[in-house]
């Protein structure tokens, strides 16, 4: 360990320790003394889930990448699972685990771990699959010709190939874990609130129960500092050690590096990149490729059917006994169902507005950060912290401050949009930065030679070159947007509940107020259907359209 690193760790640790001492001695909330305990519980929860996700991600990933059956079933199944909003399934899982353990805390804990797990698993799984699949054919053939099989093959070919993907996948998974932490620790179902000791639930309680905005902000700051510090302690270092020290999502193996062949023709053109950890945004690279190549329509259909079966299984198990047709009819045919088209349109509108705001800002920031060192020095740290703030934890705080200015309803609408933007923007930003940075030298030289500058250069060179990355970034930003929608359209405000017309709030009402499992299941199906339809009819078409663009095919 370098001395500078060790020094950084110690300074960071002391700073966090003193922050805790300060907060505990100056806050007068009755629970403040539990802060270290809550921190421990949250960290333990995320770590345990991460380990489970790592082991299963590796196993499933290797299975999917090396066996035909595995790839036919697992890849499409996981793809569908990760593209539907997980938060929506959580209440059903809660009910199941609570009834299975007769209300003991362990049931709640398992439900939380399940939710965290479903958010962490995909990045590792798809990272492993992508890395194994991108091992060049000549290496595979060389291994075969030297009769390298079984353990030897895994040890000398597969493992070195997937280590970078595991590290970057873990970084993503870890970030996703923090994102869902507050939702996993504090959940309302059927008018009852269940909470697990932890930082997330404490923050939620501070905002919803104590109405103590200051405490909530302090906790949010503590959580953000913890996230940044732990990233620095773990993923930053691993990323550097693995020689990935770049600000670039890893979705395939760089064999030129792995085999020790420096592929730098012109050293001066290798941009100096600040030490920054990798984060979200690589998953869809693999997905966009896998969507086009790895599996067929039939396989996707199979996966969809299995997901529907799974959903019904969960909802039915949650409510013992198989519901009769009348039960289903009674639960679904409520007067509010007439508003479903209107709700769908409003949620889609909200997402679209947030998407275009995010896209605009991300394009500006991304291009500037990639092309001008000065801007990179400002934007990278903003990105680093911005994507570390658990957005869901920001929600109550943002709402309390905004509702004081704009009133409840408008305040919630603005909060919802802000949350969506804060959530969707980073996927786009990271993709745009990466794409601009990977524009080949020759293309840059051509534009320099012919005297393309300013807006003309952006229009003719930069935008076309990054278009595929923008589309793939958009796919992921929409996927995460759907998750945030569930959380951001509905807000308990004092004694009443504020909600915005939309699919998210409809789902929340079904779960939180009425505990109507059948309606919840139905709405989840509707929502998943819309998500898949948007993906199929908009993004896939766009992906095909922009195939000509970009510089990968050169």
Query: What DSSP letter does each residue of 66-94 carry, written as one string?
Result: H-HHHHHHHHHHHHHHHHS-GGGGHHHHH
Binding piece for other proteins, criterion CB under 8 A, among 224-232, 371-379, 408-416, 447-455:
447-455
Indicate whether 275 belongs to the interface with other proteins (CB under 8 A).
no
Q: Does 4 bind other proteins (CB under 8 A)?
A: no
> Is 430 within 8 Å of 383 (Cβ atoms)?
yes
Taking CB under 8 A as the criterion, the residue among 213, 306, 401, 551 binding other proteins is 551
Taking CB under 8 A as the rule, does residue 542 contact other proteins? no
**Residue 545 in contact with other proteins, rule: CB under 8 A:** no
| 443 lines the binding site for other proteins (CB under 8 A) | yes
Let me know: does 260 contact 233? Beta carbons within 8 Å. no
Report the residue from 4, 267, 322, 405 that binds other proteins according to the rule CB under 8 A.
267
- As measured in angstroms, the least distance from the Cβ of 451 to other proteins is 5
Q: Among 4, 263, 322, 449, which residue interacts with other proteins (rule: CB under 8 A)? A: 449
**Contacting other proteins (CB under 8 A), which of 309, 450, 536, 544?**
450
Is residue 68 within the footprint of other proteins (CB under 8 A)?
no
Could you tell me the smallest distance in angstroms from the CB atom of residue 552 to other proteins?
9
- Which of 329, 409, 460, 536: binder of other proteins (CB under 8 A)? 460
Site residue total, other proteins (CB under 8 A): 26
549 touches other proteins (CB under 8 A): yes
Other residues' Cβ atoms within 10 Å of the Cβ of residue 263? 9
Q: Which one of 104-112, 185-193, 388-396, 453-461 is the stretch in contact with other proteins (CB under 8 A)? A: 453-461
CB atoms within 10 A of CB 336: 11
Report d(CA 478, CA 454) in Å as an integer: 30
CB 323 within 8 A of CB 522: no
Q: Long-range contacts of range 502-510, CB-CB < 8 Å, 24 or more positions apart?
A: 502/343, 502/346, 502/347, 502/350, 503/343, 503/344, 503/347, 503/527, 503/530, 504/347, 505/343, 506/336, 506/339, 506/340, 506/343, 507/88
Distance of closest approach, residue 551 Cβ to other proteins, in angstroms: 7
Residue 461 binds to other proteins (criterion: CB under 8 A): yes
Tokens of 547: 């195939």
In the complex, the smallest distance separating the C-beta of residue 542 from other proteins, rounded to whole angstroms, is 15
341 and 401 Cβ atoms separated by less than 8 Å: no
Least Å distance, CB 358 to other proteins, is 24
Could you give the CA distance from residue 466 to residue 47 in angstroms, rounded to a whole number? 36
Stretch that binds other proteins, among 334-342, 420-428, 455-463, 510-518 (CB under 8 A): 455-463
Alpha-carbon distance 480 to 194, whole Å?
25
Q: For other proteins, which residue of 298, 407, 445, 545 counts as binding (CB under 8 A)?
A: 445
Per-residue string for binding with other proteins, 463-502, x by CB under 8 A?
Answer: -xx-x-----------------------------------
Beta strands at 186-189 and 192-195: parallel, antiparallel or unpaired: antiparallel
Residues 286 and 71: beta-carbon distance below 8 Å: no
d(CA 386, CA 420) in angstroms, rounded, equals 13
When asked if residue 2 is in the footprint of other proteins (CB under 8 A), the reply is no
Interface positions with other proteins (CB under 8 A): 265-268, 440, 442-443, 445-446, 448-452, 456, 460-461, 464-465, 467, 548-551, 553-554
């Amino acid at each position: 360990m370098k001395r500078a690193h060790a020094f950084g760790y110690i300074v960071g640790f002391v700073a966090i320790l003193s922050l805790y001492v300060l907060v505990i001695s100056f806050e007068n909330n009755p629970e403040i003394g539990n802060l270290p305990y809550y921190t421990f519980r949250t960290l333990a929860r995320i770590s345990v889930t991460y380990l489970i996700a790592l082991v299963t991600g590796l196993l499933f990933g290797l299975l999917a990448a090396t066996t035909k059956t595995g790839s036919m079933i697992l890849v499409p199944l996981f793809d569908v699972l990760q593209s539907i909003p997980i938060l929506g399934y959580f209440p059903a899982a809660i009910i199941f685990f609570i009834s299975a353990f007769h209300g003991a805390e362990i049931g709640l804990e398992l439900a939380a771990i399940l939710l965290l797990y479903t958010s962490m698993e995909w990045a590792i799984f798809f990272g492993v699959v992508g890395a194994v699949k991108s091992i060049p054919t000549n290496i595979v053939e060389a291994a075969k010709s030297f009769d390298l099989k079984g353990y030897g093959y895994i040890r000398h070919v597969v493992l070195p190939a997937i280590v970078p993907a595991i590290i970057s996948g873990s970084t993503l998974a870890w970030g996703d874990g923090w994102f869902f932490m507050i939702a996993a620790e504090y959940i309302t179902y059927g008018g009852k609130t269940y909470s697990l000791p932890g930082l997330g639930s404490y923050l939620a309680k501070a905002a919803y129960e104590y109405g103590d905005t200051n405490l909530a902000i302090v906790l949010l700051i503590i959580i953000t500092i913890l996230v940044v510090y732990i990233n620095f302690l773990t993923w930053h270092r691993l990323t550097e050690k693995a020689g990935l020290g770049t600000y670039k999502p890893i979705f395939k193996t760089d064999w030129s590096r792995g085999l020790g062949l420096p592929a730098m023709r012109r050293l001066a053109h290798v941009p100096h990149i600040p030490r920054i950890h990798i984060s979200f945004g690589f998953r869809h690279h693999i997905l966009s490729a896998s969507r086009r190549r790895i599996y067929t329509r039939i396989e996707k259909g199979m996966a969809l059917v299995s997901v529907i079966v799974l959903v019904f299984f969960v909802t039915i198990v949650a409510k013992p006994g198989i519901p009769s047709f009348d039960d289903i009819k009674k639960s679904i045919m409520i007067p509010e169902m007439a508003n479903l088209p209107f709700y769908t349109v409003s949620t889609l509108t909200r997402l679209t507005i947030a998407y275009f705001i995010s896209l605009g800002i991300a394009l500006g920031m991304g291009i500037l950060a990639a092309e001008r060192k000065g801007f990179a020095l400002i934007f990278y740290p903003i990105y680093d912290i911005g994507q570390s703030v658990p957005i869901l934890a920001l929600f109550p705080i943002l709402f309390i401050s905004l509702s004081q200015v704009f009133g409840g309803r408008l305040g919630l609408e603005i909060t919802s949009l802000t949350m969506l933007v804060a959530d969707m923007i980073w996927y786009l930003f990271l993709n745009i930065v990466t794409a601009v940075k990977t524009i080949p030298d020759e293309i840059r030289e051509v534009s320099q030679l012919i005297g393309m500058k300013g807006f003309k250069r952006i229009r003719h060179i930069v935008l076309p070159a990054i278009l595929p990355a923008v589309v793939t970034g958009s796919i992921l930003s929409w996927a995460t947007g759907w998750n945030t929608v569930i959380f951001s359209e509905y807000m308990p405000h004092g004694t009443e509940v504020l909600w915005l017309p939309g699919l998210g709030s409809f789902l929340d009402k079904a779960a939180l107020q009425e505990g109507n499992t059948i309606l919840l299941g139905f709405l989840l199906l509707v929502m998943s259907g819309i998500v898949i339809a948007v993906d199929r009819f908009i993004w896939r078409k766009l992906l095909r359209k922009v195939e000509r663009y970009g510089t990968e095919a050169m």
